[in-house]
Each structure stands twice: as C-alpha cells, then as structure tokens.
Homo-oligomer: A and B are copies of this chain.
Amino acid sequence: MRFSFTVIAESKRHRGRVGILKTPRGSLITPAFMPVATYGAVKSLSPHELYEVGTRIIVSNTYHLHLRPGEDLIKRAGGLHAFMNWKGFILTDSGGFQIFSLSRLRKITDDGVKFRSPIDGREVFLTPEKAVRIQNALGSDIAMVLDYPIELPASRGETERALEITTRWARRSREEFLRLGHPYQMQFGIVQGGLYEDLRIRSAKELMEIGFEGYAVGGLALGESREDRNRVLDTVLDVLPRDKIRYVMGVGLPEDIYDAVVRGADLFDCVLPTRNPRRGTVFTSEGKINLKSARYAEDFTPLDPLCDCYTCRNYTRAYLRHLFKTNETLAGRLASLHSIYFYNRLLNRLRREILAENGLSMEDVIGK
C-alpha cells in the first residue's frame, strides 16, 4: 500500500479526530483546510507563501484544468505539482459541481454530462471515466469521482434520481481508476442525498460497497440552514468508516468548519477564505471586518492584533484600506494571506485541543 491514513487521537468531548495521511508525497495531518486553486494557483498567492502560512493541501479543479491548459500539457510538464511548483498535496475536484453551477447549456444522460465550454463555446462531453483519466494525467494526490449534485431545495424524487446516477457513476469511476492504476493517487467517492437522511445513508452505503480510499459529503454549502447541514453531517459521518478520510465539500465559514470538525470530518475546502479577502472582508480574532470601511481610514493598528502572519506583522488596517480604495492588487493578496493563515490557525488549534485531550502534542504526531 502506497498510502495510509491513521486516526491518532479522538476527542473525548465530541466526535472530532486527528489523523495522519502518509503517501510517497509526504505526510498530512488532519483535520486540514484546503484553499482553492482552481486553475493551479491560489489567487494572487505564490505556492511558497501558501506553504509558509501552513497550508499543506490545496484543491484544484479537473473541469477548469481540462479546458485550460488541458491535462495533456500538464502531464508533459510532469504533473500538476511540477507545473505549479507546489510541494504539498493536491486534491482535484471532478468538476461536477462547477458544470452544474456554471454551465447553463448542459445535458445529463446516464452516460455523462454534455456542456458548452464557457471559454470557447466548444461542446464538451464529460463522463465518469474521462474525469478519472484527466485526474490521472494531472497526477493529483486525491481524485474525486464525477458526481451529480443538485440544487437545494430538491424534491425527494429528484434527489433520489441524482443519488442513483451518482452511485452508478461512482462505480464506473472506480473501475476506470483501478484499470488505469496510479502509483500514489487516492480516489474519493461523494455522498449525495440532499437533506433526506435516509437517502444520505443509502448513498454512503452504496459508495462504501464500491470501496474508496476516502469519502466526501457533497451537495452542502448550497444555502441550507446550519441545523440542516449539521443534521446531514451527523447522519453521514456516523455511517462512514472510521479509518477513512472524510471530506466535507465547500464548507465554509470558520463556524461551519468547527461544526464539521467536531462531527468527525477531516478535510474542508471553500472559496470564501480567498474570495472575501479580495473584496476587503477578512476574519480576525476580533470578528469579521470590512477593510473598505471608512472606520479603518486612520486605524494604524495591525489587521489583526492577535495574529502573527506576514500581513499583520507588517501592515496596518489604514494601509490595507488605502490599497483597497486605490484598487491595488497587493490589497487582496495581503488580505488573502492573512485569511488563509487565520483558517490554518483555527484548524491547528482544533488539532492541538483534540491531541491535548489525549495527552498528546503536535510533536508526538510529527514523530510518528
């Protein structure tokens, strides 16, 4: 086996856990937050900066990279890690969500999904097998199956149909994945089923029967209430195997990530931690602030007085506000850097708390 995932510690107060993933790429301690690098770049940040603020895994997008620059080119570059010069882990989302949310002219058949490229209008036909092959060429560490997400709210009938397609596609994805083979890539199934608990359980069990290296909870972060989301997480994470990675897709705000961690989730991704800062909104230890606000015009204190990231060590709110007001791209860059550090610190704190409950420290984990 070229990779292993071990749960090192479980909380005694909630269902949260700390795990360690080992592959030829290195080790990844979970729970971990994954910034979004859709096109193989986390907007405005260099891979070295990301690594420096503690990021060890990012999410890239199969759908986007297939359209530009194409997986063949990336393969010739030596894979996505080499292409973008990133030494951490990469999870590639299959693109299902993007196709369903970005492409208007799409047609879903049992075989796959047909859509028009938003770049050149070209017709693209994506099948579960093709999504596997693209990700194999990209060489990501974790490949996601092509799934069929639906908007919320959705009727039980619609939800059931999407679930069934998702399971069938997952089975075909797994077959293609095993047929192709890859020295270290893992493949994750995606649990659908909307807000129907029995459908969620059915979806999870069908995927577990196929068997994947990890499982994701999809179809969330679509505007459902916090209670509904937590109910779905409670249901699904209770069914999923304890010894496999659990990834909650598209989540989210700091409190959402906390909710998911204490329910036993291991991976998270969300565009907000990079999108919001580019628009001036950042989380700080004093709460969310909008840097464009006039109240910070002469605030010569750090962005977050309790943060020791590069941005907070070097720039004031007044300077950052000025950069936003004059449309300097440095603004979004410095704010994003803080934001990702803020998320990484949150995850780090949650990991340390769970370890401490078990008489362990991060040093014990690193020694493992």
Contacts and interface: CB of A to CB of B under 8 A. Distances in A.
Interface of A: 39-41, 43-46, 48, 64, 68-69, 73, 76-78, 83-85, 297-298, 300, 314-316, 318-319, 321-323, 325-326, 328-330, 332-334
A322 B43 contact: no
Given A73-B298, A297-B69, A300-B76, A84 B319 contact: yes
Nearest first, the 10 closest Cβ-Cβ pairs linking A and B are A39-B326, A44-B329, A41-B328, A69-B322, A41-B330, A85-B314, A329-B329, A77-B300, A68-B326, A83-B319
Contacts of A48: 314
A77 to B, nearest CB: 6
A44 B195 CA distance: 43
Nearest to A315: B85
A319 B145 CA distance: 26
A350 to B, nearest CB: 29
24 contacts: A39-B326, A39-B328, A40-B319, A40-B322, A41-B323, A41-B326, A41-B328, A41-B330, A43-B329, A44-B328, A44-B333, A46-B330, A46-B333, A46-B334, A68-B325, A69-B297, A73-B318, A76-B298, A77-B298, A77-B318, A83-B318, A85-B314, A329-B333, A333-B333
A319 B43 contact: no
Contacts of A314: 46, 48, 85
Number of copies: 2
B39 A319 contact: no
Which of A40, A73, A323, A329 has the largest number of chain B CB atoms within 10 A? A329
Contacts of A328: 39, 41, 43-44
A61 to B, nearest CB: 11
A85 B312 CA distance: 12
Given A85-B319, A297-B69, A325-B68, A45 B76 contact: no
Contacts of A316: 77, 83
Contacts of A40: 319, 322
Given A48-B314, A83-B319, A314-B48, A73 B329 contact: no
Contacts of A43: 328-330
A220 B343 CA distance: 50
A73 B314 CA distance: 18
Contacts of A78: 300
A299 to B, nearest CB: 10
A96 to B, nearest CB: 20
A323 B68 CA distance: 10
Contact of A319 (B77, B321, B332, B333): B77
Nearest to A311: B46
A55 B81 CA distance: 31
Contacts of A298: 73, 76-77
B329 A69 contact: no
A69 B318 CA distance: 9
Contact of A325 (B69, B300, B315, B318): B69
A228 to B, nearest CB: 35
